[in-house]
Amino acid sequence: MYKLILDLDTGIDDTLAIAYALGSPEVELIGITGTYGNVTLEQGVHNDLAVTDLFGHKEVPAFPGLPHASTKDSFEVLPVSAFIHGDNGVGEAEIAPSPRQPEEENGVDFIIRAAHTYGKDLIYVATGPMTNIAAAFERDPSIINEIGNIVIMGGALTVSGNVAPWREANISQDPEAADALFRSGAQVTMVGLDVTLQTLLTTKETQQWRDLHTKAGDFLADMTDYYIRAYAKTAPQLGGCGLHDPLAVAVAIDPSLITTLGVNLKVDLEEPTRGRTIGDKDRLNDPVKTTQVAVGVDKDRFLQEFMGRISGLAASC
């Protein structure tokens, strides 16, 4: 069984990513590393512990990572993030706080330790800013080619961004960190807006969670309905909410869900296009492409897996 680390800014769709992972027998979630973005680092880690408790997985530890971008010394939640995810990050849905404490080991150190321990059996999925993984690579470059599978949710190659026409939210938080990851030499799969805005959820599906009549089912439905309402205001043309983060987990488990384009990616660091994910002209002719960018997705199969796995988990807790 593969070992999985989720690096999250938990967040509504990050919570759905946790649920997807816990509903997947192919992987063991060995830890969550916390980052900032949708919420503060502290709130995100609080949510990680509460959510894993609710889903009956009190054994999953949460490691606080770095609290702000690599080029900044503080972080504040943007009003748009609070609008989409709620002040508590889980759409103001009610959830009991966990009696557990976050781990003392920093998330960056945990990533390094896990890479050395599990090597190619380790899957790392980031669904927030890339600050922790970039710091881990900087601290210990020997892990760059040691991790079995690195998948990120972030970026937009063939479509516009969601923060600005050229900027997606996770990359936008720390463009330097994402650029360092793309240029590190590690093989990375990028699951960006190109595909995550094709995988949508509606209240028809959340009603199925409500119909389970379990605590987890009610929580998932309340939380996700909040997200769907936010999407109805900000992107009514979609007709649902984007399943960004759980798609990244699904792809890490089953890469056949997507079709990809090999590109040596970089992130623009200068204005006016700061935060744009784009091919690196200087590496255009390198025969080895280090990023596989998802450009197509089998959305029906993904949605079926998504509902099957998460409903299976929520039915029992």
Q: Write out the residues near ligand BDR by the rule CB under 6 A.
A: 11, 13-14, 38, 127, 153, 162, 168-170, 244-245
As measured in angstroms, the least distance from the Cβ of 163 to ligand BDR is 8
Residue nearest to ligand BDR (CB): 169
Nearer to ligand BDR, 108 or 248 (CB): 248
Half-sphere exposure of 5 (CA within 13 A, CB side): 32
Please report, as residue ranges, which positions from 110 to 169 form the binding site for Ca ion (by CB under 5 A). 127-128
For Cα atoms 162, 298, 231, give the angle at the middle one, nearest 5 degrees. 30
Judge whether 199 and 311 are in contact, CB under 8 Å: no
Cα–Cα distance for residue pair 208/203, rounded to 1 Å: 9
Using CB under 5 A as the binding rule, whether residue 40 contacts Ca ion is answered as: no
Nearer to Ca ion, 43 or 127 (CB): 127
Which partner, Ca ion, ligand BDR, none, binds residue 167 by CB below 5 to 8 Å per kind? none
- What is the DSSP secondary structure assignment for residue 262, as one 8-state letter? E
Q: Could you tell me which of 71, 62, 75 has the C-alpha nearest to residue 36?
A: 75
As measured in angstroms, the least distance from the Cβ of 126 to Ca ion is 9
Which partner, ligand BDR, Ca ion, none, binds residue 206 by CB below 5 to 8 Å per kind? none
Dihedral, 76, 10, 214, 30 alpha carbons, nearest 10: -150
> Is 245 an active-site residue?
no
270: which residues sit within 8 A by CB, 6+ positions away? none
As measured in angstroms, the least distance from the Cβ of 256 to ligand BDR is 22
> Is 9 an active-site residue?
yes
- Integer CA distances (angstroms), 260 to 33, 97, 256, in order: 27, 40, 10
Indicate the SS3 state at residue 241. Answer: strand
Using CB under 5 A as the binding rule, whether residue 14 contacts Ca ion is answered as: yes
Quick one: which H or E segment has residue 253?
Answer: helix 244-253
Using CB under 5 A as the binding rule, whether residue 246 contacts Ca ion is answered as: no
Which partner, Ca ion, ligand BDR, none, binds residue 169 by CB below 5 to 8 Å per kind? ligand BDR
Which of the residues are catalytic? 9, 244
- Give the footprint of Ca ion on this chain (CB under 5 A): 9, 11, 14, 127-128, 245
